[in-house]
Every structure is written in C-alpha cells, then in structure tokens.
Structure 1
C-alpha cells in the first residue's frame, strides 16, 4: 500500500483524537471560507444593485417622473446597508475581526500539534476508503504521473 505523501502523513506520536479535533477545526474553517465567499457575493450584488438603481433613477427622470426619481436618489442611492456601513466596510470588519483570527489560530493549532500539516483527517479517510492499486484510486498524483 503506497499511502499519503509526506505532507499528509501523521507525525509520530499524534493521536487519533488530535487528528479528529484538527479535522473538525479544518471543517469549521472551510465553513468560514464559504461564509466569507457569500459575504463577498453580498458585497458585489449590493454594489451592482446600487449602480443599477442609479441607472433606474436617471431613466425615471428621463421618463418624466422627476419627483419619484429625486426621492429614490435621496433616500436609497448610496444608502448604508446597515447603520454607518457600506458592504466594503462589513467585509473589512469580517476579515479583520474574525476571518484573520480564525486563520491564525487554525494555523497555530496545526503548527503546534502536527508540524503544520494540513488535511491529515481527510488524507487518512482517503487512505481508508480507496482501493489500493485500482485506477482512479491512486494515493498521490505521483502514482498517476509515473504510471502507478
């Protein structure tokens, strides 16, 4: 059995409980990464909406609806999405106050407990679930590149 590459092998003395805990920490970080992506999507869509709203205001004016256009322009175009903040400020606060701390502490845990190695839980799961020697079940990319 070939097994995972060195970057994904458990260091000597590391327990199943530690690998499991780091796996959960990694899973939580993955959820944060997805949430961050959705936050950036929210940022982009909100910005697009505001720019499109500006176009709608101009078209309302051109169509002879100046009073309504003025109200929308005054009350909604450029409005904060939450008190005192546009979406870029929300994204920056999330990155600075939560995301960066999460990334730092996840990295610290890996550095202290498993020599900085990533995805040990998943690598061991792969090794447990794959069929050694079967095409499509190679342990590492090197096995494919070298013909198995």
Structure 2
C-alpha cells in the first residue's frame, strides 16, 4: 500500500511493516498505525503515521547518544507489548529538533518501545526517574 508522509512524500509500505500502537500515543490516541522510515544518511528514524501524512516524529536509538540510559519496563507495558524476550525490543526516543541543530533535545522520560517481532508499540512514560523530556543530544555543543 502507499502512504503519504511528512518527510518522504508518498512511499510504498507492506502491511507487515506497520507497527500497531493499540492505545495510540499520548496526545494522539486515535493514531494506532505507524511505520518506521529511515531518514537518509542519518542515524534518525521517522515514526510516521500510516493514516495522517502530517504526523511524523523524529526518533533516535538512545543508547549511542546516552550510553548510561536505562529503564525498567513495567509488567503492564511488557504484557501490552507481548514481550517474550529482550531480543524482541527496540527502543527509541523522540527528538525535538532545534535551530541550531546543536540545541536538539531527546525525550528520555517517555521512550517509544517496540516489539519488533510482533510489530506492537507503546510510548512508555517513566515515573520515579531522573530522566526529563528535554536532554540535549549534543551537550558539549550547547549554545550559550
């Protein structure tokens, strides 16, 4: 099927590439079908709504940028995602892209967790954590 996207124009995707978010995303409860699209020649990925062309979130895999990032997935989230093994899990965080780009931040408080094998996703809001919604992606280059 073809979908219209925010950053890639019209792209062909297979039904098996769709990641289902049964409860939507916070603030987007009705958006339940997304696809992950690489952003050419970057480490970034777009979480693109399969239904709403203007809805696409820029994501990164956080561990390369935040090597000490860790959290424990609660039992309810693990059950919703039908996780059977850690190998099934892909973790991303949503970026807020700034101008200049060096001021871009990552939301470490609400990672997007995907069961890559079953194509199920959930944005998990962490509580009792030191993580915030805005961590600089490039802290050493922070603008003064």
| TM-score normalised over the length of structure 1 | 0.21
Report which structure shows greater RCO (CA 8 Å, sep ≥6): 1
Pick the structure with greater CA Rg: 1
| Larger relative helix fraction | 1
